[in-house]
Amino acid sequence: MTREERLSLYETSLLDFKNYTVHAQTGFCNYYRYTHKIEVYNDLDFEERLPELFKQKPTGAFMYWWFDDENQSNRIKCLEKAIYITKTLLEADKMIDLNKSGYLGCMPGGMLVDRREHPEASPVQENEMFNIAKPKEL
Q: How far is residue 87's CA from residue 80's CA, in Å, rounded to a whole number?
A: 11
Where do runs of H (alpha helix) occur along 1-138? 3-18, 28-36, 43-49, 51-54, 72-101
Whether residue 108 is found in the same domain as residue 76: no
Stated as kind and residue range, the H or E segment containing 123 is: strand 122-123
- Confidence band of 68 (pLDDT split at 50, 70, 90): low
Query: Domains in the chain: how many in total?
Result: 2
Report the first-to-last Cα separation within the chain, whole angstroms: 35
45: left (phi over 0), alpha (psi -120 to 50) or beta: alpha
Mean pLDDT of the chain: 88
pTM of the model: 0.80
Residue 137 lies in a domain: no
pLDDT per residue as tens digits for the range 6-62: 999 999 999 998 988 767 667 888 889 899 999 887 777 888 999 999 888 877 666
Average pLDDT over residues 78-103: 95
**Is the dihedral angle over the CA atoms 57, 94, 127, 118 positive or is it negative?**
negative
Residue 138 lies in a domain: no
Residue 68 lies in a domain: yes
Whether residue 7 is found in the same domain as residue 72: yes
Whether residue 89 is found in the same domain as residue 118: no
Contact indicator for 14, 86 with CB cutoff of 8 Å: no
Residue range(s) defining the domain that contains residue 67: 3-93
